[in-house]
Amino acid sequence: MSATIISGKELAAQKRLEMKKEVEVLKEKGMTPGLAVILVGEDPASQSYVKAKARACEETGIHSELDIVPTSISEEELLKKIEDLNMASHIHGILVQLPLPDHISEKKVVETISPDKDVDGFHPINIGRMMTGQDAFSPCTPAGIIEMVKSKSIEIEGKHVVVVGRSNIVGKPVGQLFLNENATVTYCHSRTKNMQEITTSADILVVAVGRENFINGDYIKKGAVVIDVGVNRNSAGKLVGDVEFETAKEKASYLTPVPGGVGPMTITMLLHNTIISARRLVN
Ligand SMILES: Nc1nc(=O)c2c([nH]1)NC[C@@H]1CN(c3ccc(C(=O)N[C@@H](CCC(=O)O)C(=O)O)cc3)C=[N+]21
């Protein structure tokens, strides 16, 4: 048996077509959704991500502004920029690309973004809302993962979802979103004992640790759905996930590739959140 590949790239293209229509409807009502992206520093990988975000906005008709500021910017100056964007009526989403230089507090930056414009879903208010089942911006990578699973009509309710990784931006919230879908959720992390015993009991296995080949076929139950969230550069400079693709493919029923898997869906959900934010202001 060989797994069916869930193409995030194809699903993203399809969603972006739908979103383009939604944006047209909003524009007819005099509302153009706007996203502001701030990148601190000139890290090439970060530059390529933020440019991909700007391109995706353009494709869907969303107004986007990219502000690349030097690493020497002070925390105070950066917070001022965010406050200005909080007040700007043509901006409905604000994203400050992480990670930030050491002299700038990520916590302060995230908490300065208005929860109503926090399209990343990183603000503690949005996290709290999500955890208590209220209306909130869902964090983009976790929301994209749920979309990918649902796109194949894979049942989630009652299934055992195992999340490997417990970061604030992927691991923890993706488990929460699966819990909201009535799954039984287990988290594995660096202190977990007998990880293989746990991962091989997963119906849906989400791997978000940031280490090449962290999970191979021996850690996967036959027929499981495997979601690879990793974005690593291997020794040859190639983009690879956390899952050893070839051995996983022989065990899994569905598998997401890297590149072309979760990444493109992350960007798509960012656009989705920006549209939602703008739509709240019409009617
Ligand atoms: N405030 C903030 N929000 C983020 O959402 C955020 C961030 N900071 N910092 C960095 C990470 C990383 N991230 C990615 C998004 C898309 C791809 C993506 O689309 N990747 C393509 C390939 C890109 C390539 O070839 O380099 C793919 O997987 O097919 C990757 C990585 C968002 N992040």
Q: Which of 47, 266, 270 to mutate to test the pocket of ligand 1 (most atoms within 8 A of CB)?
A: 266
Structure tokens at 42: 């000139």
108 with 145, same domain? no
Q: What is the pLDDT of residues 141-183, one digit of tens each?
A: 999 999 999 999 999 999 999 999 999 999 999 999 999 999 9
- Residue 57, in any domain of the structure: yes
- Residue 237, in any domain of the structure: yes
The reported pLDDT for the residue numbered 45 is: 87
Cα(49) to ligand 1 centroid in Å equals 5
DSSP labels, 200-249: TT-SEEEE-S--TT-B-GGGS-TT-EEEE---EE-TTS-EE-SB-HHHHH
Pairing outcome for strands 4-5 and 63-69: unpaired
Check if 172 is active-site.
no
146 with 250, same domain? yes
CB of 258 sitting under 6 A from ligand 1: yes
Cα(66) to ligand 1 centroid in Å equals 16
In whole angstroms, give the CA distance from residue 128 to residue 140: 16
**Does 129 belong to an annotated binding site?**
no
Considering only residues 243 and 133, tell me which one the structure prediction assigns the higher pLDDT: 243
pTM: 0.97
Cα(188) to ligand 1 centroid in Å equals 23
The whole domain housing 213 covers 140-262
109 with 145, same domain? no
- Residue 52, in any domain of the structure: yes
**Does 165 belong to an annotated binding site?**
yes
Check if 120 is active-site.
yes
In whole angstroms, give the CA distance from residue 82 to residue 111: 10
- Residue 14, in any domain of the structure: no
46 with 86, same domain? yes
ipTM of the complex: 0.97
Residue 69 β-bridge partners: 40
Q: 9 and 256 in contact (C-beta within 8 Å)?
A: no
62 with 96, same domain? yes
Q: CATH code at 86?
A: 3.40.50.10860
- Residue 15, in any domain of the structure: no
Q: What is the pLDDT of residues 11-25, one digit of tens each?
A: 999 999 999 999 999
- Residue 155, in any domain of the structure: yes
CB of 98 sitting under 6 A from ligand 1: yes
Ligand 1 atom with least separation from CA of 262: 28
In whole angstroms, give the CA distance from residue 182 to residue 162: 13
Count of structural domains within the chain: 2
Q: Which of 15, 118, 120, 203 is catalytic?
A: 120
Is the backbone peptide bond immediately before 257 cis, with ω within 30 degrees of 0? Answer: no
Q: What is the rounded (10 degree) CA torsion for 229, 231, 234, 240?
A: 50
- Residue 95, in any domain of the structure: yes
Check if 222 is active-site.
no
